[in-house]
Amino acid sequence: MAEFIKIYEENPNPKEINRVVQVLRKGGLVIYPTDTVYGLGCDITNTKALEKIARIKGIKLAKANWSFICADLSNLSDYVRQIDSATFKLLKRALPGPYTFILPGNTNLPKEFKKKKTVGIRVPDNNIARALVKELGNPIVSTSIRDDDDILEYTTDPELIHEKWDNLVDVVIDGGYGGNVASTIIDVSSGEPELVREGKGSIEIL
């Protein structure tokens, strides 16, 4: 049975954030709000939790293309090879915001992602998501809970999300209604920005 925890985005309660982070540290799965759709996430350093998400999604962990939710750009060098100043300026302009940037991964990636040449980085414009990552001390691996055949309300209404995912995850955060448009994905791994998917984020930043 998943805990259902109300957290207000304007001013996330540190006690509630800490409660959720304790669950993440123990390998729990958490559904939380972002600046786009609600996400399903776990601690990037916990193999068992990563495997659980892969099972839920029906994919092999080695093939998973999940993004890393970061609190800001200061941890970028932990997982990303050095990027040029034009790319960094683009990231600074766009983040926090509804974008996923595909960047060249480095050798520090957790072993489950070692074979990957690239990594998707997100810094959502959402105080709850960023507070979780800050308190946890490392990124959260994240995937969208949205299914293409889903009824829209399920992916935006936290109570319905809780009902649907109750037996699959450990915590559902009620951070208010979510969006139903995913992030804009921009691949900057080769140095030249390339639009992969147009979503909520405006492509005029390119």
Residue ranges of domains in the chain: 3-205
Residues of the chain above pLDDT 90, percent: 80
This prediction has a pTM of: 0.94
- Report the CATH superfamily, name and number, of domain 3-205: DHBP synthase (3.90.870.10)
pLDDT number for residue 193:
96
Identity (one letter) of the amino acid at 162? H
C-alpha 96/C-alpha 191 separation (Å) is 20
Task: Provide CB contacts within 8 A for 60, sequence distance 6+.
Answer: 54
pLDDT number for residue 152:
66
Identity (one letter) of the amino acid at 113? F
Q: Which two tokens stand for residue 120?
A: 């998707």
What residues does 140 pair with on adjacent strands? Answer: 43, 69
C-alpha 102/C-alpha 75 separation (Å) is 15
The DSSP letter of residue 105 is B
pLDDT number for residue 148:
60
Low-confidence ranges of the chain (pLDDT < 70): 147-154
pLDDT number for residue 151:
61
C-alpha 123/C-alpha 101 separation (Å) is 9
Q: Which two tokens stand for residue 190?
A: 């080769």
pLDDT number for residue 76:
87
